[in-house]
Structure 1
Amino acid sequence: MEHVFKALADPNRRKILELLKKRSMSVTDLLENFDFTQASLSHHLDILKRANLVVTERQGQFIYYSLNLSVFEEISKTMFNLFQYEKSKK
């Protein structure tokens, strides 16, 4: 879970996730929303992919990124259980 929180700590990666919440996007699509290089964006996407927060699908010559919704459901459940447990101890 630590790698997930490290991935989410960066505001640029959170913005990428916000964009992917709307639809699957290629690197070219995503770059239109940022002022950094393709290499920098690819680095951020690699971190999100290693944290299992995004998945990829090849369509022709393009790779499309989308949210891995099952992981977000798991994170939500974990966080809910963590804070529910703490709340019930008080």
Structure 2
Amino acid sequence: MTRHTELEVILSHEHADFDALASLLGAALLYPQALPVLPRRINSNVRAFVDEYQNELPFYQPQDLPRGHVQRAILVDTDGVNLVKGMDDETTYFVI
């Protein structure tokens, strides 16, 4: 049986605005072991900002996450869960 890495991710809502982006970044500073994941869809002005500063920002695209089991998902600026690969019934959720 192959054992995959246990991951912690930080997630926000789809159609992310700057509040969501700032929340992802703030949580990444509080939880440096967790990977801040951009939603699949973000507002165009936020997309332009992320594209401009992508080398200075710690964000992951969902498709670029390392292979592994998501042990914990930290949720910010959202009232729902956006699933990413590696999440299952054993994933715990922490809302800040």
TM-score, with length taken from structure 2: 0.27
Q: Name the larger-Rg structure.
A: 1
1 or 2 for the larger relative contact order (CA 8 Å, sep ≥6)? 2
User: Which of the pair is proportionally richer in helix?
Assistant: 1
User: Which of the pair is proportionally richer in strand?
Assistant: 2
